[in-house]
Amino acid sequence: MLRAHLRLPLGAMLHRVPVSALLVDKAMAMAMPTVVMGGGYRPRRSLHGGGGDSPSKWRKPEAGRLKLNFDGSSRHASQSASIGGVYRDHKGEFVLGYAEPIGAATSSVAELAALRRGLELALENGWSGVWVEGDDLSAVEAARGSHRRPRLGRAEEDLRLWKEIAELLPLLGDDMAVSHVRRGGNRVAHGFAKLGHSVPRPRVLH
């Protein structure tokens, strides 16, 4: 049965309430069709540093590994932001999705918050060695545990999220993989991020 739960502190018992599978369908429908490349792909710790070599199509993880795609959505007119993401398996099948409104926030904060929430869900579900992928280069650097600090001039909220992500990474295992993808390969995650604008509270769907 498809269920959703509210966001609670890491490790806390999750209060779950039934939701309609239409929420997942809505998030998927918000994304243009994404091509899944045939065959498994065995990722390394760091894939595609960004720029011209980043792929534009979504790729399947190897068997036994889950892949997280995350995204943030910021509406400048209403000054509202939301986050979302999706876990899929080696067959490209849906495992878990999340969508959450986060109030007023910049696009960079939304991207980092989406990544942090995706990592928290991996820990809550006991998943290690996940493949993490996003279309924002700064958030991907944070996922890699880059020793480079965020660019000067970053807001305090960006720095706080960067630090919280760094604290989560060691808990996810040494075989976690990270990659950057162009927006065309991140459309399903973007659909969940857009869904976050229309839900009244955090949702986790599976």
100-112 confidence digits (pLDDT tens)? 999 999 999 999 9
**Cα distance between residue 12 and residue 69, in whole Å:** 24
Residues 133 and 186: beta-carbon distance below 8 Å? yes
Q: What's the pLDDT at 165?
A: 96
Give me the helix-helix angle, 107-124 and 156-168, nearest 10°: 20
Sign of CA dihedral 162, 82, 185, 93: positive
Q: What's the pLDDT at 48?
A: 45
pLDDT digits (tens, 9 = 90+) for 116-161: 999 999 999 999 999 999 999 999 999 998 755 555 456 889 999 9
Give me the helix-helix angle, 187-195 and 22-29, nearest 10°: 120
pLDDT digits (tens, 9 = 90+) for 163-181: 999 999 999 998 999 999 9
Q: What's the pLDDT at 117?
A: 98
In the DSSP assignment, the letter for residue 110 is H
Beta bridge mates, 6: none
Beta bridge mates, 83: 72, 100
Helix, coil or strand: residue 158? helix
Q: What's the pLDDT at 54?
A: 77
pTM, two decimals, is 0.78
pLDDT digits (tens, 9 = 90+) for 43-96: 335 544 444 567 889 999 999 999 999 999 998 767 799 999 999 999 999 999
pLDDT digits (tens, 9 = 90+) for 14-52: 333 344 465 666 665 555 433 333 333 333 355 444 445
CA 108 to chain centre: 13
Task: Map out the domains of the chain with their CATH numbers.
Answer: 24-147+154-205 (3.30.420.10)
Query: How far is CA 37 from each of CA 40, 91, 128, 148, 178, rounded to the nearest angstrom?
Result: 8, 10, 23, 32, 18
Longest dimension (CA), the chain: 46
Strands 3-5 and 16-18 come out as antiparallel
**Cα distance between residue 85 and residue 118, in whole Å:** 7
